[in-house]
Amino acid sequence: MKIEALTLRELRMPLVTPFETSFGKTANRRIVLVEVHADGASGWGEVTCGELPFYSAETPDTARAILANVIAPMVLQRDFSHPSELAPMMRRIRGHAMARAAVENAAWELAARQAGQPLWRFLGGTRREIPCGVSIGIKPNLDAQLAAVEKELAAGYQRIKVKIKPGWDLDPLGAIRRRWPEIRLMGDANSAYTLADAQHLARLDDFGLMMLEQPLWHDDIYFHAQLQRRLQTPLCLDESIHHARDVEQAVALGACRIINVKLGRVGGFSSARAVHDAAQSGGFPVWCGGMLESGIGRAHNIALSTLPNFTLPGDVTASRRYWHEDIIDPEVTVTPQGTIMAPELPGAGFTPRLDLIHRLTAWEETLR
């Protein structure tokens, strides 16, 4: 297949409800989509960065510049027989993993569709039904926090994750645990603590959490190992894991016991598979993280979650939790058991809604 053109678009999509983490609040998403045109067909990918460089360094503006000025010249007019050949074409780029992932993932989706296979099978997935959890943002008070948990449990989700930060940790987690003693519960700090908080974080051991996600610095593995030795609660790394070597390091140091895999953060499906394999070899289960994706990214997360070591519920949820109207048809739905069925259709299994996409598009450019 020869890559004939790349179409870049930025969509403006308001969230159903604002989402707050330790690093800030998001109400309106700026979603950069990449359409890869090859052999008279096209595949779609999503740049999963935040609007501002608070989760990682990438933003929609850096993604646009790198896609147009650096990635397009590297991949345009190039032939590939398998989408695993895309990552090597972009190997010289340092960072910008989410921009690279959007192009690589679009190629995977296109190649799977051309091969007449569902993307998840094409990737080597083995599980048709994936277990799902939810990530609940920081709420203004405990009543709102408990009400949000109650709603998601009623919808069937198998695991509750709440965002925490200093001053908003023991109270929400304690209140949830007292009300629901048996549920699978975890906290995600998005790097809001330091090692000086170790004693405080050890108090979370009383709540029987499945895990505590990324308590320390976004670029740290070593000090998480020191913290893990002082906690019973398993740690999970998100921000710190960019490729399989980071997992090998985390395993060697004992920095965590679980890995969150995000397609964008690790640079696409090839790297995500390598991260998955490294975690499996090290004895760590993995789960698929989310970045408030539109349906395009959501569909890719579903496919990834079918790989065998994705044994824990991921942050992969129904379109309706975030969007009044998603940009794919059909939208993603969750079963009453809190699972999502991977589609049997060729490719991602969802069709981009071009009319809606055009209406939401703030800018568009096609590179040849």
- Whether a cis peptide bond, with omega within 30° of 0, leads into 234 is no
| Range list of H helices, the chain | 60-66, 72-75, 86-89, 97-114, 119-122, 142-154, 170-179, 198-202, 222-230, 244-253, 263-266, 269-282, 295-304, 354-360
Interacting residues toward ligand OSB by CB under 6 A: 55, 135, 188, 190, 238, 289-292, 315, 317
Which partner from the list ligand OSB, Mg ion, none does 215 bind, CB cut-off 5 to 8 Å by kind? none
Using CB under 5 A, which of the segments 71-79, 208-216, 280-288, 301-309 binds Mg ion? 208-216
Which residue, 38 or 220, has its beta carbon nearer to ligand OSB? 220
Q: How far apart are CA 224 and CA 168, in angstroms?
A: 21
Which residue, 19 or 44, has its beta carbon nearer to ligand OSB? 19
Beta-carbon contacts of 346 under 8 Å, excluding residues fewer than 6 positions away, are 112, 113, 115, 116, 117, 118
* Contacts (CB under 5 A) with Mg ion, residues 235-264: 238
Smallest gap from Cβ 268 to ligand OSB, in A, equals 18
List the one residue out of 6, 115, 30 whose CA is nearest residue 363.
30
In this structure, what are the phi and psi dihedrals at residue 134, rounded to the nearest 5 degrees? -125, 155
Which residue, 83 or 289, has its beta carbon nearer to ligand OSB? 289
Which partner from the list ligand OSB, Mg ion, none does 352 bind, CB cut-off 5 to 8 Å by kind? none
The β-bridge partners of 3 are: 38
Q: How far apart are CA 33 and CA 94, in angstroms?
A: 21
Q: Determine the 3-state secondary structure of 166 from DSSP.
A: coil
Which residue, 37 or 96, has its beta carbon nearer to ligand OSB? 96
Which partner from the list ligand OSB, Mg ion, none does 310 bind, CB cut-off 5 to 8 Å by kind? none
Which partner from the list ligand OSB, Mg ion, none does 227 bind, CB cut-off 5 to 8 Å by kind? none
Q: What is the DSSP string of 169-222?
A: SHHHHHHHHHH-TTS-EEEE-TT---GGGHHHHHGGGGG--SEEE--S-TT-SH
Smallest gap from Cβ 158 to Mg ion, in A, equals 18
Which partner from the list ligand OSB, Mg ion, none does 104 bind, CB cut-off 5 to 8 Å by kind? none
Smallest gap from Cβ 74 to ligand OSB, in A, equals 28
Number of residues that bind Mg ion (CB under 5 A): 3
Smallest gap from Cβ 161 to ligand OSB, in A, equals 7
Which partner from the list ligand OSB, Mg ion, none does 315 bind, CB cut-off 5 to 8 Å by kind? ligand OSB
Q: How far apart are CA 47 and CA 50, in angstroms?
A: 9
Q: Which residues are catalytic?
A: 163, 262
Smallest gap from Cβ 253 to ligand OSB, in A, equals 21
Query: Taking a C-beta distance cutoff of 8 angstroms, is the pair 118, 346 a contact?
Result: yes
Smallest gap from Cβ 72 to Mg ion, in A, equals 30
Using CB under 5 A, which of the segments 100-108, 212-220, 229-237, 277-285 binds Mg ion? 212-220
Query: Taking a C-beta distance cutoff of 8 angstroms, is the pair 63, 101 a contact?
Result: no
Query: How far out from the chain centre does Cα 260 lie?
Result: 8
Which residue, 186 or 318, has its beta carbon nearer to Mg ion? 186
Smallest gap from Cβ 190 to Mg ion, in A, equals 6
Using CB under 5 A, which of the segments 31-39, 56-64, 87-95, 231-239 binds Mg ion? 231-239
Contact status: 10 vs Mg ion (CB under 5 A): no
Which residue, 152 or 238, has its beta carbon nearer to Mg ion? 238
Q: What amino acid occupies position 365?
A: E
List the one residue out of 205, 292, 282, 212 whose CA is nearest residue 15.
292
Which partner from the list ligand OSB, Mg ion, none does 292 bind, CB cut-off 5 to 8 Å by kind? ligand OSB
Which residue, 154 or 354, has its beta carbon nearer to ligand OSB? 154
* Contacts (CB under 5 A) with Mg ion, residues 156-195: 188
Enumerate binding residues for Mg ion (CB under 5 A).
188, 213, 238
